[in-house]
Each structure stands twice: as C-alpha cells, then as structure tokens.
Structure 1
Amino acid sequence: MKDSIKVFAPATVANVVCGYDVLGFAVNAPGDEVVMHRVEKSGITIKKITGDDGRLPLDAAKNTVSASVKHYLNHIGQPDLGIEIELHKKMPIGSGLGSSSASTVAGLFAINNLLDNPLTPMELVPFAMKGEELACGYGHADNVAPALLGGFVLIRSYEPLDIIRLPHPEGLYCAIVFPEVDVPTRDARQMIRQKVFLKDAVTQWGNIAGLVSGLFLKDIDLIGRSMKDILVEPVRSILIPDFYKMREMAMESGAVSFGISGSGPSVFAFTKTEANASFITQKIASHLTSLGISSKTYVSPINNNGPVILD
C-alpha cells in the first residue's frame, strides 16, 4: 500500500449546449493536481494550496477536496485515517470548465488509489457530487462524472443516479476560450427560468436526442446541428461579453458548433480538425483583446482517460 501519490484530473465542458445538467465531456487541458500523503496524525489536513491567489479555504471542512475525501473515508469505514493534502490549481477558478470538479476528482482518485481502489470510478461519483454541492450549492454530476470516467457522459437520472458513458467520433476537437471576466456559478444558475413552454421543451429534448444520436452514429454534422439551446443559453449569454459575435466568428471559421461551457464565461466550439480549433481560439482571443479583455485558450480532443497518476 502506497503512502503518497500525485494525481492530475482534467477540466470538463458541462451542459454541452442543449444538455443542461445532463451532458458533459472531459478535455486534456487544463486540469488540477493533488498530492496526497498518509500520515500518523488522524484526520484530514490541507498542507498547501497553490495557483488560487488565496481564494480557496485551507479549512478541511470547507474545501471541496477534503470534504469529499472525508465523505469517502466515512463510507469505507476509515474516518480517522490521517491524510495530508496539497492542491495545485493548474486551471482558472470560475472559468466554467469544472475547476472545483477537477480538484475534487483528483482528491478522490488519489485517496482511492492510496487505499488500493476499494471503489470503482463510477462509485466515486456521489462523493464528488458532495464537493460540487459545497462549491456551488447544488450537487450536479455533469462535470465530476466525465472528469472521473473520462470521455462523453450522460446523466440519465439523478434520483436514482444513472450515468451512461457515450461513444464519440475520434475526429472531434474542442476549441475553448476563457474570457477573464467573473461569472459566479451560483449567480448564473439563479438566472435560469424555472418554468418553460412545452413547445420549447420539445425543441430542447429533440436536440438532446439528436446530439446523443450523433455521438453514437459518429455523425459530426448531426452533432453540430443538434447543439442548439433555447432554454438556458439565451439567459446565460447575457453575462458573457460579445457571445454572439464570438459564435458568428467561430461558425464562419468552420466550427461545427459553438456554445457556453458550464455556466461560463468559457465558450467552446467543436471542430473536425485540431488546426481549425487552434485557428478559432486565436481568432476569438484576438477579438477579446481588441475589447480590452484578456483570455486563455485551450485545444483538445475529448479526453477518454479521466484522472491519471503522475510520477
């Protein structure tokens, strides 16, 4: 049994335009790292956090990583195990790319490996959802499930929890741009309408079914024309600078689809080539610079691995 481990867990794109709270996929970068040690002193302590500009709590009861690890240890009957955690943020907080999810998943994957994997990655999902509940007030799985399982994931049901890993075309690339503006997840969720018209719901679930069908059929064009959101995006896009201009630029540059990642402000496009994804990120980043907004960009295929142990 190991005494220490270092784990990387990936960022994720949740909602995937039309699949609010039920669809998500993992990307190769960015992501977070957790270093975990078994120690003699009982209880969980957070020794160090880097890359967060002092924004995250060192209090083990308030940090998503330690809180979810505590739930895990209680579940497996080792509540007094001594664990020391270092969290190294390698991705922006509040980006809409599953920042809290990546940290939580890295921590859970680390503790599970230290204890010789008593639970499967699928069985870790509910504990990761506890971390999301602490971070944004709602324990959704569309970030943590793909971060843990890798690939493209559908949450068919929350009660009971029913998660399906979906296939996807190999030639699908994701272009991500994070405009460095503040869009808190809690605030973004509160803007969403609680009631919708039936005709809008019919359109939305048709698009979700089309997107899932496109993934199974490996039909990138069907995926693209299904990725339309008439329920959430029209509201959340208000918080994102020049959203519709960025979408126009991406689509005119060959993107298959374009939308908000999670609650934003990050946006993403699917493309058929890595070169096209890189071109689109550069074009949008230049546009944001012209508006006086700095940004970070990432290009990735869909990450099938999920978390990995680092040497």
Structure 2
Amino acid sequence: MEKLSSISVFAPATVANVTCGFDVLGFAIDAPGDTLELTLTETGEVRITEITGDEGKLPLAVEKNTAGVAVLEYLKHLGIKQGVDIRLHKQMPLGSGLGSSAASAVGAAFAINELMGAPLERKDLLPFALEGERAACGFAHADNAAAALMGGFVLVRSYEPLDVVNISVPEDLFVTVIHPDVEVPTKQMRKLLKEQVPLKDAVTQWGNVGGLIAGLMSSDYALIGRSMEDVIVEPLRSTLIPGFQEVRKAAMEAGALGFGISGSGPSQFTFSQGPETAQKVAEAMEEVIKSLGFTYQVYVSKVNMQGPTVLAAEAQQQSTV
C-alpha cells in the first residue's frame, strides 16, 4: 500500500440531542459538512495554512482550533513528530446547531489517521475529536462528534468511561433540517440550563428517550413521533429562536413525525416517514421562515450512515535521486 502524502476528506453535519436526549443522542446528515485538506510536510510542525467560509472568525493558531487540536492529540498519542499542513473549508454556518466544530475535529482526526496508514480503528479516533470539541466550545460532549465519526444514529451511554452505542434506524426515515440565518452561540444556550430538574420531568424525559430508541430499532414510526418531546431543555432554549412555535406548527401540520431543536439551535429538525413527506415539511417550514424575513438553508436527507469520507488522496512521490 502506497503511503499517502495528502488527503481531502468530507465530514458531515450532525443533529444532537434529538429532542429528549440532551448530550446523549445524535445522528449524522448528508449535508452540509466540512471539507479538510491535510498535507504531510518536513517542517515537523502542525500548521493551519488556510480557513475558508468562516468570515475570519476561527483561529489559525493550531492549539486553539478544533481541527488543529485533534491532529496534535492524535500525533501525541502515537508519539509521532510529523509536519502537517491543514486547510479547512467551512461549509456550514458557525453557531448553527449542526455540529460545526465536531465536523472539523472529526474530519481532521479521520484524515491524519488515513495519512498515517490508518493504524487506529475509526471508533478509537473519538477521544482526539473530543479534545478538538473542548478547545472549540469548552465542552467535550460526544453526541455530535460520535455521530459525525461513526455515522448513523448514536447513543452516548456513558461519558466516564466513554461508551457509544450505534442505534439502527428505519429504512424510510427521512430528516428535514432548516437553518435560519440567526447565530445563537452554544455557550449562551448552555447558560439557560438549570442545574436541577423536577423528578416528574426527569421521569417523562427518560420515558421519551427509551421510547425514541425503541421506535427507531423497531421501525415504529408512531412511537418515534410521540417520543419526540423535550420537557427539560427545549422549553428554555426555544424562547431564543425566532418563530420556533410557528415553524413547529407548520412542520407538524405538513406531516412530520416530530420536531425539535438541532443541538443548541437555531437550526430545527424533523423526522418524516418517506421522502415526499420530508419535502412537504421542508416547504412548510420555509414558508414560515420567509414570512419572518430571515434567509435560511434547508436540507433533506436520510440519516447519513457513512460518517467522514475520502474525497481525494495523493500518494507520496518516490525520490529518484
């Protein structure tokens, strides 16, 4: 097998929390996502040479950038001193609730592992991506990163020790995501959360998490729909998302199984049975967002089962000297 000298990869966006599963449920979607280009160098340094699509908001300093930290932690783990140049192309809005920082961290960890000959299994790259997440937003939460890395729908059963479980999804389950162009920083959304919740609400939430997972694994679309209720986080966060209740009403009337905030917002998502319904839901949500005067992006797809993928790779040139 030829050793690679450069690689371009795509890492998908994700929906985390999935209404009732705060910090423990997430899944990947086909679009949007980030593209990263990594090239091995003889400098002995990890450098970020270019970032596009971020309007100059992201740091080029490696130790402060989610992609840079993931590469640094990976090389440190293997005890390798290797020069790497990173080019990061952001293809989703920052602060969108679509796992922007996780996609960058996952793409970087996946790419450097491929350049090194893939000595680690994909699941073993998660700790490096989580350190990238920590650098980006202060929290090493795994719901976005695990879904982006592993693809599919994931349950973070435990953080100490880290235990991530893949959950099967029905064949005809489709996702609609709409992102209004309003930035709501994750840190601001987390400040809204309470340290304690009433036992009654906790019991309701546990039932919904169990019901959602059971519905996904048994292809019970009705159970999926009635389990998509969040009584702890969504009532607080939805107040900062313009038009949330109106968009929800339109989506449900168009046939969505359920509706919720994607991550910390402002993106919102629905599950639908079948592509036709998912598209009708998208159109209904668009009409509301348009009427509110916001620009937006909308995405319709199945749950992305692939995770990060290689777009292009170049083998090392052999010296003829």
Q: Same fold (TM over 0.5)?
A: yes
Deviation, 1:55, is: 0.9
Q: Distance in 2 between matches of 1:209 and 1:49?
A: 41
Name the residue aligned to 2:105: 104
Q: Distance in 2 between matches of 1:5 and 1:30?
A: 20
Counting only pairs closer than 5 Å after superposition, residues 251-290 of structure 1 correspond to structure 2 as 251-290=252-291
Query: Is 1:216 aligned to 2:220, yes or no?
Result: no
Name the residue aligned to 1:57: 59
Name the residue aligned to 2:39: 37
Name the residue aligned to 1:177: 178
Counting only pairs closer than 5 Å after superposition, residues 245-256 of structure 1 correspond to structure 2 as 245-256=246-257
Note the alpha carbon deviations across 1:3-50, whole angstroms, 9 max, x for none: 000000000000000000000000000000000000010110011111
CA contact (8 A) 2:146 2:154 kept: yes
Deviation, 1:261, is: 0.2
Counting only pairs closer than 5 Å after superposition, residues 64-79 of structure 1 correspond to structure 2 as 64-78=66-80
Q: Identity over the aligned pairs, expressed in percent? A: 53
Structure 1 unaligned runs (5+)?
Answer: none
Name the residue aligned to 2:25: 23
Q: Distance in 1 between matches of 2:285 and 2:218?
A: 30
Name the residue aligned to 2:123: 122
What amino acid is the match of 2:190? R
Counting only pairs closer than 5 Å after superposition, residues 59-208 of structure 1 correspond to structure 2 as 59-78=61-80, 80-208=81-209
Figure out how many residues of one structure are paired with residues of the other and give that number. 310
Q: Distance in 1 between matches of 2:133 and 2:189?
A: 15
Deviation, 1:108, is: 0.6
C-alpha RMSD over aligned residues: 0.8
Q: Distance in 1 between matches of 2:252 and 2:291?
A: 20
Note the alpha carbon deviations across 1:229-259, whole angstroms, 9 max, x for none: 0000000001111111111110010000000
What amino acid is the match of 1:102? A
Q: Distance in 1 between matches of 2:101 and 2:304?
A: 18
CA contact (8 A) 2:243 2:292 kept: no
Q: Distance in 2 between matches of 1:126 and 1:215?
A: 27
What amino acid is the match of 1:61? E
Name the residue aligned to 1:226: 227
Deviation, 1:307, is: 0.4
Q: Distance in 1 between matches of 2:160 and 2:277?
A: 40
CA contact (8 A) 2:94 2:183 kept: no
Note the alpha carbon deviations across 1:245-295, whole angstroms, 9 max, x for none: 111110010000000000000000101121221222222222112111111
Name the residue aligned to 1:238: 239
Q: Distance in 1 between matches of 2:156 and 2:113?
A: 23
CA contact (8 A) 2:62 2:69 kept: yes
Compute the TM-score of the two structures, normalised by the length of structure 1: 0.98
Q: Distance in 1 between matches of 2:36 and 2:172?
A: 31
Q: Distance in 2 between matches of 1:47 and 1:221?
A: 49
What amino acid is the match of 2:94? I
Q: What SS is found at the alignment partner of 2:59?
A: coil
Q: What SS is found at the alignment partner of 1:8?
A: strand
Q: Distance in 2 between matches of 1:293 and 1:62?
A: 32
Compute the TM-score of the two structures, normalised by the length of structure 2: 0.95
Q: Distance in 2 between matches of 1:34 and 1:258?
A: 31
Q: Distance in 1 between matches of 2:163 and 2:62?
A: 29
